[in-house]
Amino acid sequence: MSESKLRFLVFGAHPDDIEFGCGGILLAEASRGSEIALCVCSRGEAGSNAAPNEREAEAREAAKLLGATIEFLELGGDCHLQISPANNIAVARRIRALRPDVLLAPVASLDQHPDHVIVSHLCRNGARLARYAGLAALRELPAHAVQHHLEYAITPGSEPPDHRGKIRVDISAHCVRWVEVMECHQTQLRTRRYVELQTARARLLGLEAGVEYAQALYATGDFLIQSLADLPASVRIF
Amino acid sequence: MSESKLRFLVFGAHPDDIEFGCGGILLAEASRGSEIALCVCSRGEAGSNAAPNEREAEAREAAKLLGATIEFLELGGDCHLQISPANNIAVARRIRALRPDVLLAPVASLDQHPDHVIVSHLCRNGARLARYAGLAALRELPAHAVQHHLEYAITPGSEPPDHRGKIRVDISAHCVRWVEVMECHQTQLRTRRYVELQTARARLLGLEAGVEYAQALYATGDFLIQSLADLPASVRIF
Amino acid sequence: MSESKLRFLVFGAHPDDIEFGCGGILLAEASRGSEIALCVCSRGEAGSNAAPNEREAEAREAAKLLGATIEFLELGGDCHLQISPANNIAVARRIRALRPDVLLAPVASLDQHPDHVIVSHLCRNGARLARYAGLAALRELPAHAVQHHLEYAITPGSEPPDHRGKIRVDISAHCVRWVEVMECHQTQLRTRRYVELQTARARLLGLEAGVEYAQALYATGDFLIQSLADLPASVRIF
Amino acid sequence: MSESKLRFLVFGAHPDDIEFGCGGILLAEASRGSEIALCVCSRGEAGSNAAPNEREAEAREAAKLLGATIEFLELGGDCHLQISPANNIAVARRIRALRPDVLLAPVASLDQHPDHVIVSHLCRNGARLARYAGLAALRELPAHAVQHHLEYAITPGSEPPDHRGKIRVDISAHCVRWVEVMECHQTQLRTRRYVELQTARARLLGLEAGVEYAQALYATGDFLIQSLADLPASVRIF
Amino acid sequence: MSESKLRFLVFGAHPDDIEFGCGGILLAEASRGSEIALCVCSRGEAGSNAAPNEREAEAREAAKLLGATIEFLELGGDCHLQISPANNIAVARRIRALRPDVLLAPVASLDQHPDHVIVSHLCRNGARLARYAGLAALRELPAHAVQHHLEYAITPGSEPPDHRGKIRVDISAHCVRWVEVMECHQTQLRTRRYVELQTARARLLGLEAGVEYAQALYATGDFLIQSLADLPASVRIF
Amino acid sequence: MSESKLRFLVFGAHPDDIEFGCGGILLAEASRGSEIALCVCSRGEAGSNAAPNEREAEAREAAKLLGATIEFLELGGDCHLQISPANNIAVARRIRALRPDVLLAPVASLDQHPDHVIVSHLCRNGARLARYAGLAALRELPAHAVQHHLEYAITPGSEPPDHRGKIRVDISAHCVRWVEVMECHQTQLRTRRYVELQTARARLLGLEAGVEYAQALYATGDFLIQSLADLPASVRIF
């Protein structure tokens, strides 16, 4: 395993999206010394089962278990997110402020909560704006280009169909702790079996790849190599 | 750049497919000590501009410039290739005999010479059969699983549409020699401007990725990593 | 639950495909009195871990647990299947002989064992030929049109991407027995964790739909209703 | 035919969208006692051939023939619709107020009037928000989850391509009356041959399915069944 | 309307495919002096309702009404067609012998009679082989490249989904005669309402484009123009 | 080549989009007497390398070389564009005011600058609104329907995947001047090799089609012809 540590900035729409969608990956990264910053775009104000301050407290607890910092971005609140120049710029401002190596965001598939889709687009737009030096609204912060912009799927139904070459991350060594992280969101687990759903999904992604558990990331662009020795392992089991 | 050398087995339908479709990549690999074996599935018997023995001589000359071994597989001849159990097994036999780390084959897009599509399917099937120990017809050779099975597009029209996460290989340092390799196929260059077509294409793939020239490879499955430090560089220029 | 019993004809390429791909569905149907006939198109002759007679014995044992009849169709053997008029007709002959209400076959996605794809196409073609009265080769048997022609995915990688409106069948009550059915194929479970893979998959398909376990079927055509009261339940949980 | 009556809520962007896109289906449902509520999101203020009050009068006349209630939702007016949190909530409020079993909305294909696409997205978002109990703006109304959320295509060009498993509804017995319903929109028929277009389309969808006339509905999710006896009839004619 | 006459070669799998799939277009072309040659790849030997000699007689009658020549190609017979080098070459031989400007063939969509798909592929392969001068089997005939290779869809279910830029041909002036052409195939009309199906379809394609009746052709490649004045009319009605 | 002159209205998001994406086509049209009007929807205010007034000056210089008029539309500024009724109407107003035969706009593929996508949608919406006579906000200008609405791809990554039947325009005679037009945007060429990127791309599109250089246009709808003699040349080289 490589020794180089990375700086992560991870966006989610609601207080539990990140933990469910890529929590195991973040634990794997934290365990090798990477720095993780979470940026949550609402406090789950529309949820059926908890008040926003409870949701925020759960997310802060989960972030602590992840070894991550967490902040809440004010973009209008749960179910009130919108793609707008102001929101694109707000996301770009966080990217410039934190200067991550890796940006993680939800995928943009339509078949999921509309806030997930909107945060996906805000991150795509924000990552571009973070690079454009001339943008007056962001002039106080130097431009920044991330090294990797990858996406995660919060629910199985939002996994991009027919995506060849996706990245599976082995999270076998972190699965127990990942369950603990997800279980921080107790208010959300009263009516939906999210933890079982996510572990069944990680089990399937792992077994297909010959390991115990895996979570997937989707590239938003191509890769560039000097030699095929630079490629990660290919999955060819079944 | 990684130091580890790899063993390549590269399939093509006709004597010039490999050189046009991934010749620059092979030069890059050969330059760092990888072993390259070419397996050509016809002698171009249907071509307008040359006899099969001329085509074979050109291919042997090109293989020499590539620093590769070359063999011709008898599968019925140019425009007579077929997907059949016997041909699947013939390909699997070469894989078992040569035991490559990396298998390169044409993509299977429909909009190209039908022989290209057939060789693509023969390689997909052959790579599976090479792994199945019980296959009576191959019992004399031990089963073998390749580490990477990647595909190359011989013509721009056959590039798989909408493939996110494809692999671009920087061939900038090898472009002059790649032109020499392609120019070995003099009989094919009399009526078609293949060399200009391929260099324009590599120029475009390279400039988009921030280098001078690149050729692309398409993953046939997912990748598995332990950490994002294992990922190759992402292309994010335009 | 409806009381009407159905006659099933289920095709698979290898001795364990049916059990892994739709075994739970068949148990659910058998439990309500439907008749199940399995038609296996090889004896797994190319497999690494068992002789064909062992594979056949395992399949016969599994069929017994399923409460199904089983027959083996001679189409050239494992890894030697082909799409050909003769094989299309051989499949059509079984359809005419058994006159099923429901035909189940593998999906035709490319990313799986080529024999699976071939059996999928043989069933599509055979189901048509079974209906054409003029076909000389089948004149001894009256033409037959199935009521439903549905497909199952043997591996998760072969699930048709972006298929809206697929049919999930609740197999929660039959999951324990389904594991017993799959475990009949002991020779295949030595090197691959198929049972865990399939149960993780059924768990995921089930939890998404609000039940414990489910397996999916893919329609090959449209449905016709007189009123929306005729529709089965829609899945709308996450 | 099933006896159970259903409560329908049907959204359209302009005064004639519902009648053209699924009028025959609504007549079939009304004839068996289902309750139909239409919700029209503009008064066609941008149309070339009539004033908004004429358009509204035509729609009210058509609703009467359909045996449906009708209301007009103020979302900015024809050609001024937008996807916004406020509009999502406005749609969710109608769903909570009327508590339908079945929600019908336009498909979201891009190749049609932009208002159609926007109403499609507003319904997808609104149907979710209707279920989230915590949403402050809707607290006065209890949360509601629809049983079926299906979509209809107003024009042939907006039919979702490559949608397997769509639902065709036999409207043969209601076609004469459906033409009368469409002809209520006289101002729209002066320059466009909508009635002929829609009946040609229903004729084609019907003949393919072995009946006289049919209209299609597109599932937005999967179906869940206990047994294949629960499936509606499959279309397998040509 | 342009004055230049064209030479057409039209392939079909069965005796009525061409008439149903593009008969109106052929009448339009014949009326302006183009030469039409039909090449039918079976005699419908598997059909339920007629003997092969009846089918052939019907096709010859239809060809007469179309003002076309007709020949029957022996490729194994109805339901016995195969993609093979020999059959590819047989098609290429007809192309070289007749030297058409325009080649019309069925589309290759999977959801139709397998013979249609096979003839589509034979034509794609044959059109290439017709151009390769070195092919020993065809050396007696000079190589030939068609100007246009377009495809037609025999049934509505086989229309390529999401094909932007397809070509609609106005057949309004020829619709009555087209029905007469289709009605030559009396034996096929006893159990299936093909004529109504095809006219409903042409009505829909026509009304959408602002004319009475149209049939569609699908490009197999791009177009090259010197100026936008060279473009045919765009359809922009609804 | 046809003699008829056309009136063009071309939309771009930033001062160099039009020149890079279809500058060669516009030169070809201008050379035969067509009138070209450019409408640029920002002044590139967010760019890294120049002030808006420099960007505007460069665009005016390029327009002069193109022989085109140019205007700047105020829609919020670079990186602040939005799809909104007001912006749709602003675009429709330009269409009604200029009454073009041909409307050119960027493609709507997601993988490019978000402003490009937004301008694409504004043009799709605006072209519709320009036709609706009842729209109060535009009543001062008579309705107008364009003859052709075609799209261009500013970057290679935004080319619509799998688009069969696209239009390639031969720009070989105008390539030198096109480079001069692109080089007007000197401030943009300091950090990105856009001119080399675009000429490599045009070279590839041209060589594939048998000419020196070409740029591509994508149809937004179908074409309608009376006879196949009306079709432009098909590209069938490789």
Cβ–Cβ below 8 Å for A232 and B225: yes
Mean pLDDT of D68-76: 96
User: Could you report the per-residue pLDDT of A201-227, keeping only the tens digit for each?
Assistant: 999 999 999 999 999 999 999 999 999
User: Could you report the per-residue pLDDT of F158-201, keeping only the tens digit for each?
Assistant: 998 867 679 999 999 999 999 999 999 999 998 889 999 999 99
pLDDT of amino acid D3: 66
Query: What is the C-alpha to C-alpha distance for residues B28 and D85, in angstroms, rounded to an integer?
Result: 54
The chains in contact with chain D, meaning 3 or more Cβ pairs closer than 8 Å, are A, C, E, F
Mean pLDDT of C35-48: 93
Residues with Cβ within 8 Å of F131's Cβ and at least 6 positions away in sequence, in order, are D48, F143, F144, F145
User: Could you report the per-residue pLDDT of C52-80, keeping only the tens digit for each?
Assistant: 999 999 999 999 999 999 999 999 999 99
Question: pLDDT category, F1, cuts 50, 70, 90?
Answer: very low
pLDDT of amino acid D2: 53
pLDDT of amino acid B200: 96
Mean pLDDT of D57-82: 96
Between the alpha carbon of residue D32 and those of residues D21, D152, D212, E81, F161, the distances in Å are: 20, 20, 19, 49, 46
pLDDT of amino acid D59: 97
Average pLDDT, chain A: 94
Question: pLDDT category, D96, cuts 50, 70, 90?
Answer: very high
The chains in contact with chain E, meaning 3 or more Cβ pairs closer than 8 Å, are B, C, D, F
Most D CBs within 10 Å, among E203, E205, E235, E236, to test the D interface: E203
What residues of C are in contact with residue D211 (Cβ under 8 Å)?
A: 224
Weakest mean pLDDT among A220-224, E39-43, E67-71, E103-107: A220-224
DSSP E112: S
Query: What is the C-alpha to C-alpha distance for residues C207 and A194, in angstroms, rounded to an integer?
Result: 9
pLDDT at F34 over 80: yes
Q: If residue B39 lies in a helix (H) or strand (E), which one and from where to where? A: strand B35-40
In the B/E pair of chains, how many CB contacts fall below 8 A?
42
Mean pLDDT of B176-190: 96
- High-pLDDT (> 70) share of chain D, %: 97
Mean pLDDT of C89-106: 98
Nearest to residue F58, comparing CAs of F77, F38, F74, F76?
F38
pLDDT at C165 over 60: yes
Candidate from F48, F78, F110 with C-beta closest to A133: F48
What six digits make up the tokens of F137? 């906000």
Question: pLDDT category, C1, cuts 50, 70, 90?
Answer: very low
Query: What is the C-alpha to C-alpha distance for residues C195 and F142, in angstroms, rounded to an integer?
Result: 69
pLDDT at C180 over 90: yes
pLDDT of amino acid E73: 97
What Rg value do the Cα atoms of chain E yield, rounded? 17
pLDDT of amino acid F211: 96
Question: pLDDT category, E1, cuts 50, 70, 90?
Answer: very low
Which residue shows structure tokens 């050189």?
Answer: B19
pLDDT at E57 over 50: yes
Question: pLDDT category, A237, cuts 50, 70, 90?
Answer: low
Chain D: give the shortest CA distance to residue C10, in Å: 14
pLDDT of amino acid B47: 80
Nearest CA in chain C to E82: C84
Longest distance between any two alpha carbons in chain F, whole Å: 53
- High-pLDDT (> 90) share of chain C, %: 85
pLDDT of amino acid B110: 84
pLDDT of amino acid C238: 59
Cβ–Cβ < 8 Å for F155, E210: no
What six digits make up the tokens of E127? 């059109």
H runs (alpha helix) in C114-167:
114-129
| B85 or D2, which is more confident | B85
Residues with Cβ within 8 Å of C161's Cβ and at least 6 positions away in sequence, in order, are A161, A162
Chain F residues with a Cβ under 8 Å from any Cβ in chain A: 44-50, 76, 78-82, 110-111, 113-114
Compute how many other C-beta atoms are within 10 angstroms of the C-beta atom of residue A4. Answer: 12
Average pLDDT, chain F: 94
What residues of B are in contact with residue E220 (Cβ under 8 Å)?
A: 111
What residues of F are in contact with residue B238 (Cβ under 8 Å)?
A: 112, 155, 157, 192, 197
Cβ–Cβ < 8 Å for B8, B149: no
**B43-52: burial string, b at 16+ Cβ within 10 Å, e else:** bbbbbbbbeb
Predicted-complex ipTM score: 0.93
User: At residue D191, what is the residue type?
Assistant: T
pLDDT of amino acid F48: 75
pLDDT of amino acid A133: 85
Most B CBs within 10 Å, among F189, F203, F204, to test the B interface: F204
Mean pLDDT of E67-82: 95
Average pLDDT, chain C: 94
Nearest to residue C95, comparing CAs of C139, C129, C133?
C129
Query: What is the C-alpha to C-alpha distance for residues C221 and E157, in angstroms, rounded to an integer?
Result: 9
What residues of A are in contact with residue C204 (Cβ under 8 Å)?
A: 156, 197, 200-201, 204
User: Could you report the per-residue pLDDT of D30-42, keeping only the tens digit for each?
Assistant: 999 999 999 999 9
B and A touch with 3+ CB pairs <8 Å, answer: yes
**E51-64: burial string, b at 16+ Cβ within 10 Å, e else:** ebebbbebbebbbe
Nearest to residue C149, comparing CAs of C104, C100, C215, C216?
C104
User: Could you report the per-residue pLDDT of E146-161, keeping only the tens digit for each?
Assistant: 999 999 999 999 998 8
Candidate from A47, A76, A114 with C-beta closest to D125: A114
Chain A: give the shortest CA distance to residue C87, in Å: 26
Cβ–Cβ below 8 Å for D136 and A49: no
pLDDT at A235 over 70: yes
Question: pLDDT category, A111, cuts 50, 70, 90?
Answer: confident
Mean pLDDT of E67-92: 95
Chain F: give the shortest CA distance to residue E189, in Å: 29
Nearest CA in chain F to E229: F2
SS (H, E, C) chain A: CCCCCCEEEEEECCCCHHHHHHHHHHHHHHHCCCEEEEEECCCCCCCCCCCHHHHHHHHHHHHHHHCCEEEECCCCCCCCCCCCHHHHHHHHHHHHHHCCCEEEEECCCCCCCHHHHHHHHHHHHHHHHCCCCCCHHHCCCCCCCCCEEEEECCCHHHCCCCCCCCEEEECHHHHHHHHHHHHCCHHHCCCCCHHHHHHHHHHHHHHHCCCCCEEEEEECCCEEECCHHHCCEECCCC
Question: pLDDT category, F46, cuts 50, 70, 90?
Answer: confident
Mean pLDDT of B214-227: 95
What residues of A are in contact with residue C165 (Cβ under 8 Å)?
A: none
Q: Sign of dihedral through CA atoms B150, B153, B159, B165? A: positive
What residues of D are in contact with residue F95 (Cβ under 8 Å)?
A: none
Strands D7-12 and D102-106: parallel
Most E CBs within 10 Å, among D168, D175, D197, D215, to test the E interface: D197
H runs (alpha helix) in E114-164:
114-129
Between the alpha carbon of residue D229 and those of residues C7, C170, E65, the distances in Å are: 11, 13, 49
Mean pLDDT of B34-58: 93
pLDDT at C120 over 50: yes
User: Could you report the per-residue pLDDT of E158-196, keeping only the tens digit for each?
Assistant: 998 867 679 999 999 999 999 999 999 999 998 889 999
pLDDT of amino acid A1: 44
Cβ–Cβ below 8 Å for A79 and D129: yes
Cβ–Cβ < 8 Å for A119, A125: no
Residues with Cβ within 8 Å of C42's Cβ and at least 6 positions away in sequence, in order, are C13, C14, C15, C72, C75, C76, C77, C78, C79, C80, C81, C115
pTM for the full predicted model: 0.95
What residues of B are in contact with residue F17 (Cβ under 8 Å)?
A: none
DSSP C166: P
- High-pLDDT (> 70) share of chain C, %: 97
Average pLDDT, chain D: 94
pLDDT of amino acid F110: 84
User: Could you report the per-residue pLDDT of A123-171, keeping only the tens digit for each?
Assistant: 999 999 999 888 889 999 999 999 999 999 999 999 988 676 799 999 9
Weakest mean pLDDT among B155-169, D97-111, D212-226, E65-79: B155-169
